[in-house]
Structure 1
């Protein structure tokens, strides 16, 4: 016969082990960074959603509006950090912010802090 106190302790140890294995630190270390191919696929999915009207007519009003919406769709947190206060404008090529955005997505996919990303690629 099994002692109920022993069973209770075993159950608590198992629960504690599961909790520790699922902690953010362990999950962050086991995550795989987002790949360029995955970014391209997700962005193409965003463009399809925009074209279907899912993001509203404003996102279909111009090429640059579509691009800003696609960036917001792809990663709302990185868009807010990098572009929201100063969205891309027609004809603008901003390689610094583009690099920051990609770096943000990489760090976010790993569960890492996004502090210090803004301005990290300024020349």
Structure 2
């Protein structure tokens, strides 16, 4: 796997995530997803991959101000599989 592969996958995820944000902003995911920036982030992760979200974040959703680098890497890995 070349190093460029990861870059294209990252940009794919960013593109899809911005589409998720747009859906959330338009209300498709319900009001609770717009209640705070962290609620929006959790909804965006669920939008990106419900299965991966359930596996990695469901039991312990992100909290306000939390940056969880390890879980975000696990989430990306889960999506690539």
1:65 corresponds to which of 36, 39, 42? 39
Q: Distance in 2 between matches of 1:36 and 1:94?
A: 17
The reply on whether 1:51 has 2:25 as its aligned counterpart is yes
1:55-90 deviations in Å (ceiling 9; x for gaps): 000000000000000000000000000000000000
Unaligned runs of 5+ in 2: 1-5
SS at match of 1:93: coil
TM-score normalised per structure 2 = 0.89
RMSD of the alignment, in Å? Answer: 1.6
The reply on whether 1:100 has 2:64 as its aligned counterpart is no
Q: Distance in 1 between matches of 2:27 and 2:45?
A: 16
Structure with the bigger percentage of helix: 2
1:20-46 deviations in Å (ceiling 9; x for gaps): xxxxxxxxxxxxx87111101100000
Q: Which residue of 1 aligns with 2:53?
A: 79
TM-score normalised per structure 1 = 0.59
